[in-house]
Amino acid sequence: NKYWTIKTHIEDAPKEDDFYLKNSTLALSVEPGSKEMIVKNLYVSIDPYQLNRMKSSSSSQKTGGFAVGITPGQEIEAFGVARVVASENPEYEKGNFVVGVVTWAEYSKIGSNGMIRKLDPMGFPLSYHVGILAFSGLTAYAGFFEICKPKRGEKVFVSAASGSVGNLVGQYAKLHGCYVVGCAGSKQKVELLKEKLGFDEAFNYREENDLNSTLKRYFPDGIDVYFDNVGAEMQEAAVANMNAFGRVAVCGVISEYTDSGKKAAPDMLDVIYKRIKIQGFLAGDHIGLFQDFISTTSDHLRSGKLCALEDISDGLDSIPFAFAGLFRGDNIGKKIVKIAEE
């Protein structure tokens, strides 16, 4: 069995050669009650937060037990869809599709307390269950509806808007009757947001030198909701342009992950006088919304009101390039690696 690991901790932007392939032998414990399984990985999720787990400073304490640090040489856990190939767990049998925490590997061993469940594809491609119908989708759904509490007609700004979470936030916001502007890092992405995903406006932040005036141009009447995926100067400019009682959902700060010197420092007087609410959140805290999220999202997918934007690379070998690409802006939509045929 081949799996990816890191050579040493990664402190800034990841590169392909920060990773190497290792071999392992997987064997099931046949002790009665072992409940172990071996699964063949089919699709795995490629997520920016993994970088924070690869840093030397990463610890379960810092992330509240959510994303524990990765030790060089160890397997790298990731969300994915797989097929059971051997099972000592009476609830699962060979051939079952499962979804949950696997590893960046050909095969993964799932322990008795593995975070995995049986998957009913519900007629959707299996890859949807790694992104739009899984954590990326729940992040967008919970972050937008629960944290931002949007009202019809409000003005919404979303950064990393062509990414996995961002594109969905924009699409949910349009379905909710909001005015939506997104920013992304290329002309092609900006066109896609406007032409294919129905954003009212979009801009390429790389071509703007003064983000504050850029946002004034797109929001002459101010921003009501900012869904922040990037942090740093974009967050500062967004807060400067917020309306009274505006809400900022801090979903992620990707521009700070690769640059430890970079930190958002929004003007706190603005926050006070405009009574702006800035709230971080973790999708995992909103698992109670999962059924609601799945039924709304799958209905919209079936009726064609929601578009699933996926960016799938082929083969286990492509994982380091796919992962490093997140921080270069290579991906358009949910970044997934297909490891094996169904």
Residue ranges that bind ligand NDP, judged by CB under 6 A: 47-49, 135-136, 139, 160, 162-166, 184-186, 189, 229-230, 251-252, 254-255, 281-283, 326-327, 329, 331, 335
Of 338, 340, 341, 321, nearest to 128 (Cα)?
338
Is residue 68 classed exposed, middle or buried when 0-12, 13-18 and 19+ CB atoms within 10 A define those classes? middle
Two tokens, residue 235:
């967050």
CB of 216 to ligand NDP, least distance (A): 20
Between 89 and 100, whose beta carbon lies closer to ligand NDP? Answer: 100
CB of 116 to ligand NDP, least distance (A): 19
Other CB atoms within a 10 A radius of the CB of residue 19 amount to 21
Helix axis angle, 232-240 to 211-218, nearest 10°: 50
CB of 10 to ligand NDP, least distance (A): 15
Between 96 and 281, whose beta carbon lies closer to ligand NDP? Answer: 281
CB of 323 to ligand NDP, least distance (A): 10
Q: DSSP of 190-231, one letter per residue?
A: HHHHHHTS--SEEEEGGG-S-HHHHHHHH-TT-EEEEEESS-
- Residue 227 near residue 157 (C-beta atoms within 8 A): yes
Q: DSSP of 89-117, one letter per residue?
A: -TT--TT-EEEEEEESBSEEEE-TT-SEE
CB of 278 to ligand NDP, least distance (A): 14
d(C-alpha 308, C-alpha 169), whole Å: 12
CB of 81 to ligand NDP, least distance (A): 17
CB of 162 to ligand NDP, least distance (A): 6
Task: Please write down the HEC assignment for all residues of 23-90.
Answer: ECCCCCCCCCCCCCEEEEEEEEECCCHHHHHHCCCCCCCCCCCCCCCCCCCCCCEEEEEEEEEEECCC
